[in-house]
């Protein structure tokens, strides 16, 4: 299985409204002079938790300081971008909320904690990098898969899920993976604010999730769980409802629609037959 990523609660109409808001007014704006030639710049993107970013021209150099930012840039630019340790003299620096880097007027903070966040980031980067059409196309592809999944899991009882990122450390609902699980018809047993460090095994056994998902770098395998005297009694382990998530499921980018579909199909196979 390739990759098997908080529910927004948006209906179709709300989703269209959000998309229109992002693409037209909510996340950025271009100057609109009259005349035969329309300049694409300056561009202003308003950032809710940071300084607004204004570009007078298309940036000649762009740097991503986090792997997540690099994935988003790769989606917009259509080529592989790797994260860099330093911004250097880049005219545009892209980071994500978990970065501790200094935030200035040339730094764009890309939201990445939900599918809607990823759509917003793609839209805003499309504006900043003069690729608005590509951004719209990518967002439209994600939205198409979200609508498809929403139709298939409508009315289906959510299944409970535990995510193991290594040594029973898990993820909260307020993460991209938590959101993917939610929209895919799952209920993350860790909730919105799991305690730091390993999730208590006693609590895990008590909650007894229907599905046990492990990230690729966790080192967790089904055989290991079956050998564990305590964990082998879990419903998910006994029924073999275990899967390893590909690393890209944790990365924001244009592939989130594919990851959502993969997760939903795994959690609710009968809904997709």
Cis peptide before 42 (omega within 30 of 0): yes
Same domain, 26 and 145: yes
In angstroms, the Cα distances linking 254 to 40, 74, 153, 186, 198 are 24, 9, 22, 22, 31
Q: Which residues form the domain of 58? A: 12-149
Whole-structure pTM value: 0.83
3-state class (DSSP) for residue 233 = helix
Same domain, 145 and 32: yes
Residue 107 belongs to domain with CATH number: 3.40.50
Domain boundary residue, one of 105, 123, 149 = 149
- Is the same domain home to 140 and 165? no
Per the structure, the count of domains in the chain is 2
Q: Which pLDDT score, from 0 to 100, does residue 28 have?
A: 53
Q: Supply the pLDDT for residue 11.
A: 43
Name the domain boundary from 149, 180, 200: 149
Determine the Cα–Cα distance for residues 22 and 1; give it in Å rounded to an integer: 34
Place of tokens 């903070």: 109
- Please write the tens of the pLDDT for every residue from 84-99: 999 999 999 999 988 8
Higher pLDDT, 122 or 4: 122
Nearest CA to 2 among 271, 268, 255, 171?
A: 255
Q: How far is it, in rounded angstroms, from Cα 24 to Cα 82?
A: 30
User: Is 107 found in the same domain as 142?
Assistant: yes
């Amino acid at each position: 299985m390739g990759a098997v990523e908080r529910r927004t609660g948006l209906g179709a109409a709300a989703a269209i409204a959000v998309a229109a808001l992002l693409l037209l007014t909510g996340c950025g704006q271009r100057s609109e002079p009259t005349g035969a030639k329309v300049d694409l710049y300056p561009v202003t993107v308003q950032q809710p938790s940071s300084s607004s970013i204004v570009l007078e021209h298309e940036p000649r150099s762009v740097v991503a300081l986090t792997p997540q930012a690099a994935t988003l840039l790769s989606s917009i630019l259509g080529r592989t971008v790797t994260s860099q340790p330093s911004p250097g003299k880049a005219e545009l620096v892209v980071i994500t909320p978990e970065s501790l880097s200094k935030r200035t007027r040339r730094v764009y903070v890309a939201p990445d904690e939900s599918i809607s966040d990823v759509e917003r980031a793609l839209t805003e980067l499309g504006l900043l990098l003069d690729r608005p059409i590509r951004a719209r196309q990518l967002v439209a592809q994600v939205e198409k898969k979200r609508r498809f999944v929403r139709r298939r899991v409508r009315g289906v009882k959510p299944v409970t899920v535990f995510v193991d990122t290594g040594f029973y450390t898990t993820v909260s609902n307020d993460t991209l993976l938590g959101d993917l699980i939610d929209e895919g018809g799952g209920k993350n047993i860790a909730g919105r604010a799991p305690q730091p460090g390993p999730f208590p095994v006693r609590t895990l056994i008590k909650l007894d999730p229907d599905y046990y998902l492990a990230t690729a770098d966790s080192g967790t395998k089904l055989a290991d769980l079956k050998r564990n005297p305590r964990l082998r009694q879990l419903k998910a382990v006994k029924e073999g409802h275990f899967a390893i998530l590909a690393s890209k499921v944790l990365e924001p980018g244009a592939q989130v629609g594919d990851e959502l579909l993969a997760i939903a199909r795994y959690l609710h196979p009968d809904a997709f037959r």
